[in-house]
Amino acid sequence: MPDYRAPIRDLAALAGRPLFEPVAGWLRHFGGSAPPDLAALNAALASLPAPPRAASGMPLRFVAPAAAGDGEEGGYEERIFARGEVETRPGNWHDFCHALAWLAYPRAKRALNGRHHAALLAQRAAGRAERGAARDAATQFDECGMAVVSADPALLELLRGHAWRALFWQERERLARRMRFFVFGHASWDALRAPFFGLTAKALLIEVGEPWLAQPFSSQLESVDARLAGMFSGDAAPARPRELQPLPLLGIPGVVAENESAAYYDDARQFRPSRRNRPKKKGPAEAGPEMEAEV
């Protein structure tokens, strides 16, 4: 069942919420109870030591949406590639969160833009109308992606195996010491303003050594940005959506108060087992009394 929480609008309050750490500094910088205007967003870009660029090398800037018929062929990502223009609707939380992603992960966002552009060129060359699996995977990560970083391979295996109760409850203390969660997807940040039942991220898993966890958060964030950029610039990029690991965000300790109880993780509607661990459906010959009665 969905949670009908009122969305958090205070930017400083959001900065203190779990999973907003990569953009907490920017949320405090902007302040207030509404998304900042284009001038403030572009001033934030200009304040960076190395302002972000599109994959084409064009300097990035946030602009109002194009009028109908005035967009770049290929849509939103192509306008970014060709002109460096990121369409941003005034007062729109989803678009504001997208702007925050560019501020937090400039290298990875640039690599993703290049991934979109290359996939679009391949699509055109093949004469296909459909977007294709590579673009779908890039879009899913762009919207609801997360980097899960761990110095403990066993914890990553629990995640791969969808062993949610073991990962989030039984190994709770170990997880706090040896695993970090970095939200990347702007749609996820928007949704986390009012978390709802079943909210899920699509994760890429990164294994690191113990010294990495001792670094300051700012250094960790720069490292994640660089690693994601490397993935999406090369052969390690997910070629299809199924290569991204589903991760129920509300199971991460501290994200919602409800997950302070072990019973919270018993709900298989939200904490689904992996396909290989799900019980097989009975056929008619194997059906028990209840199934036979339904038939």
What's the domain count of the chain?
A: 1
| Residue 130, in any domain of the structure | yes
Sign of dihedral through CA atoms 103, 108, 114, 115? negative
**Given this model, what pLDDT does residue 277 score?**
55
| Residue 279, in any domain of the structure | no
The encoded tokens of residue 117 equal: 């552009």
Angle at 278 between CA 275 and CA 283, to 5 degrees: 110
Name the E strands within 69-169. 85-87, 145-150
Please count the other Cβ atoms lying within 10 Å of the Cβ belonging to residue 186: 25
**Residue 198 has what DSSP assignment?**
T
The answer, as to whether pTM is greater than 0.95, is no
| Residue 41, in any domain of the structure | yes
| Residue 77, in any domain of the structure | yes
**Given this model, what pLDDT does residue 284 score?**
41
Determine the structural domain holding residue 144 and report its residue range.
11-271
Taking only the tens of pLDDT, the chain with its 295 residues reads 445 578 999 999 999 999 999 999 999 999 999 999 999 999 999 999 999 999 999 999 999 998 654 545 558 899 999 999 999 999 999 999 999 999 999 999 999 999 999 988 888 888 887 778 989 999 999 999 999 999 999 999 999 999 999 999 999 999 999 999 999 999 999 999 999 999 999 999 999 999 999 999 999 999 999 999 999 998 889 999 999 999 999 999 999 999 999 999 999 999 999 866 554 554 444 433 232 222 2
| Residue 166, in any domain of the structure | yes
| Residue 282, in any domain of the structure | no
SS3 257: helix
| Residue 6, in any domain of the structure | no
Pairing of strands 200-207, 145-150: parallel
Q: Give the strand order in the sheet containing 245-248.
A: 179-183, 145-150, 200-207, 245-248
CA-based radius of gyration for the chain: 21
| Residue 287, in any domain of the structure | no
